[in-house]
Structure 1
Amino acid sequence: MAAVEGVRAWPRPVVLACGTLLLAGCYYAAGRLGLSQQLSADGAVATPIWPASGVAVAALLLFGPWCVPGIALGVLLTVLRLGNPGAAALGIVVGNTAAPVLAHLLLRAVGFRVSLSRLRDGLALVFLGALTATLVSSGMGVGMLLWSDEIPTGHLGLVWLAWWVGDAMGVVLVTPLLLLMYRARLPPPSVRWAEALGLAVVVCVLVPLITYSSVSVLFLVYPLLIWSVLRFQLAGGMSCALLASVLATVAARQGAGSFGRLTEIEAMMELQAFNGTLGLTALLLSAVISEQLHTRRSVEGACHELVEALQHLNAGGPPGPGGSGGDVR
Structure 2
Amino acid sequence: MAGVVGIEDLRRTGAFALQTLAVAGGYYAAGRLGLLRDMVVEGAVFTPIWPPTGVAVACLLILGLRAWPGIALGVLLVIVHLTTLRPDVLGNLAGNTVAPVCAYLLLRRVGFRTDLSRLRDGLALVFLGALTSMLISSTVGVGMLVVTDRLDTDSFWPVWLAWWVGDAMGVLIVTPLLLLLHGARRPLPMARWKEAVGLAAIACVVVPVATRDEASLLFLAYPLLIWAALRFRLVGSMLCALFTSVMATLAATDGIGPFDGLTSIDVMIKLQAFNGTMAMIALLLSAVVTEQRNTRRSVERACQELVEILEHLTAGDTPHTRPPGDTDERGDRPGPP
Fold match by TM threshold 0.5: yes
Structure 2 CA distance for aligned equivalents of residues 217 and 302 of structure 1: 46
Matched residue, 2:145 = 145
Structure 1 CA distance for aligned equivalents of residues 238 and 87 of structure 2: 37
Matches within 5 A, 1:1-329: 11-187=11-187, 189-317=189-317, 318-321=320-323, 322-323=325-326
Matched residue, 1:5 = none
Aligned residues: CA RMSD = 1.7
Structure 1 CA distance for aligned equivalents of residues 230 and 164 of structure 2: 30
Structure 1 CA distance for aligned equivalents of residues 189 and 313 of structure 2: 40
Structure 1 CA distance for aligned equivalents of residues 169 and 106 of structure 2: 18
Q: CA deviation at 1:153?
A: 1.4
| Residues 42 and 159, structure 2, Cα contact 8 Å, conserved in 1 | no
- Which structure 2 residue ranges, 5 or more long, are not aligned? 1-6
**Identity across aligned pairs (percent)?**
59
Deviates more, 1:205-214 or 1:119-128: 205-214
Structure 2 CA distance for aligned equivalents of residues 325 and 41 of structure 1: 92
| Residues 319 and 325, structure 1, Cα contact 8 Å, conserved in 2 | no
Deviates more, 1:204-213 or 1:241-250: 204-213
Q: CA deviation at 1:23?
A: 0.9
Which runs of structure 1 show a deviation greater than 3 angstroms over 4 or more consecutive aligned residues? 323-329
Q: CA deviation at 1:84?
A: 3.3
Q: CA deviation at 1:130?
A: 0.4
Structure 1 residues 104-129: Cα deviation after superposition (integer angstroms, max 9, x where no partner):
00000000000000000000000000
* Higher-Rg member (1/2): 2
Q: CA deviation at 1:151?
A: 1.2
TM-score, normalising length: structure 2: 0.92
Structure 2 CA distance for aligned equivalents of residues 113 and 18 of structure 1: 26
Q: Secondary structure at the match of 2:132?
A: coil
Structure 1 CA distance for aligned equivalents of residues 188 and 43 of structure 2: 52
| Residues 206 and 220, structure 2, Cα contact 8 Å, conserved in 1 | no
Equivalent residue letter for 1:190: M
Q: CA deviation at 1:15?
A: 1.1
TM-score, normalising length: structure 1: 0.94
| Residues 44 and 155, structure 1, Cα contact 8 Å, conserved in 2 | no
Structure 2 CA distance for aligned equivalents of residues 325 and 55 of structure 1: 72
